[in-house]
């Protein structure tokens, strides 16, 4: 059985891994050049920034076992009590899940088409030129709910629960300093423009120099300034960072990245969504809650449903 998965974040990769391990032919499509979705590491010259998800927790037995495996293989490490990170970057667990899977990157899927022979995945230029396209028995939508909705609509499938999912955006500021800033390894702030500051070097496998920092704006600030240019958002957040921390040195590097769908505020309230008539399913952290583990659990649950469905 051939299965297409749209999205190479944690949910899509967890689904793909489970399906492939059960002997199914899986092709994963993602608009980015890399893997992991918001479990992201941006590399600039010799610098690296974990600019999306900062860490993940493992509360359930199933995900704890997976994380233990990643730790044993060197793909993950402990950061602080109860918090784990990818090693040497946040994308490492995603790469581990993707081993042996067929992944088509830099592919912005725009439409889905179903015919008697199966599903076809299309981008702006038409059917994506990859083996098996046009004969997929199932399609898994493993992207943020607002991005999944138009894809489902293109397939004439309506998922009412998907419309309930609400995200908060996040502006991320990436900074590098030649000298140590003296800031703590990580700090959460409850008020103001900034909600989080972390030193990348405090995580296993990260280079100690230069000092690279990731600053996350609060959901409220990010919403209010969502349509700024990266340059404008970066300058404003740098001013807030200076005021909050007292670090007066001008950074040697600064850039801002907008996560339009960063933090699930209202989940759909179901582990996954699946339409038996069409064979189309959807999964993600937006199903269960704002955690990497929720994305993994959702992807695995949908994969199990497809395997049980059997066609």
Q: For 159-204, how does the pLDDT look when each residue is reduced to its tens digit (9 = 90+)?
A: 999 999 999 999 999 999 999 999 999 999 999 999 999 999 999 9
- Quick one: average pLDDT of 103-109? 97
Residues of the chain with CATH 3.50.50.60: 2-37+91-165+267-309
Q: Are 164 and 286 in contact (CB under 8 A)?
A: no
DSSP string, 55-69: -B---SHHHHHHHHH
Q: In the structure, how many helices (H) and strands (E) does the chain have?
A: 8, 18
Query: For residue 310, what pLDDT band results from cuts at 50, 70 and 90?
Result: confident
230/216 Cα distance (integer angstroms): 13
Which of 166, 141, 142 lies closest to 155 in space, CA to CA? 141
At 213, give phi and psi (nearest 5°).
-125, 145
Superfamily of domain 2-37+91-165+267-309: FAD/NAD(P)-binding domain (3.50.50.60)
One-character DSSP codes across 73-117? HTSEEE-STT-EEESSSTTHHHHHHHTT-EEE-S----EEEEETT
Question: For position 311, what pLDDT does the model report?
Answer: 64
Angle at 44 between CA 101 and CA 94, to 5 degrees: 20
Model confidence over 40-99: pLDDT tens digits? 999 999 899 999 999 999 999 999 999 999 999 999 999 999 999 999 999 999 999 999
- Where does CATH 3.90.660.10 sit in the chain? 166-265
d(CA 108, CA 270): 26
Alpha carbons 28 and 142: distance in angstroms, whole number: 10
Q: Which CATH class is domain 166-265?
A: alpha beta
């Amino acid at each position: 059985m051939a299965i297409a998965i749209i999205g190479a974040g944690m949910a899509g990769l967890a689904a793909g891994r489970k399906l492939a391990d059960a002997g199914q032919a899986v092709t994963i499509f993602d608009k980015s050049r890399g893997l992991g979705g918001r479990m992201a590491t941006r590399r600039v010259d010799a610098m690296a920034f974990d600019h999306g998800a900062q860490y993940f927790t493992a509360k359930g037995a199933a995900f704890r076992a997976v994380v233990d495996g990643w730790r044993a293989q060197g793909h993950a490490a402990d950061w602080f009590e109860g918090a784990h990170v990818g090693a040497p970057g946040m994308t490492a667990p995603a790469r581990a899940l993707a081993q042996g899977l067929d992944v088509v990157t830099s592919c912005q899927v725009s439409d889905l088409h179903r015919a008697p022979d199966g599903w076809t995945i299309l981008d702006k230029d038409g059917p994506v030129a990859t083996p098996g396209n046009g004969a997929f028995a199932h399609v898994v939508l493993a992207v943020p709910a607002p991005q999944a909705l138009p894809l489902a609509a293109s397939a004439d499938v309506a998922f009412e629960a998907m419309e309930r999912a609400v995200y908060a955006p996040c502006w991320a500021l990436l900074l590098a300093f030649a000298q140590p800033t003296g800031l703590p390894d990580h700090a959460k702030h409850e008020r103001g423009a900034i909600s989080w500051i972390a030193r990348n070097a405090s995580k296993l496998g990260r280079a100690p120099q230069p000092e690279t920092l990731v600053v996350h704006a609060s959901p409220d600030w990010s919403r209010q300034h969502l349509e700024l240019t990266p340059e404008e958002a970066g300058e404003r957040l740098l001013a807030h960072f200076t005021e909050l921390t007292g670090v007066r040195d001008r950074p040697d590097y600064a850039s801002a990245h907008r996560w339009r769908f960063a933090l699930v505020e209202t989940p759909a309230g179901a582990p996954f969504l699946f339409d038996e008539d069409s064979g189309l399913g959807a999964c993600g952290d937006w199903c269960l809650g704002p955690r990497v583990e929720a994305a993994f659990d959702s992807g695995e649950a949908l994969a199990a449903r497809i395997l049980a469905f059997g066609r």
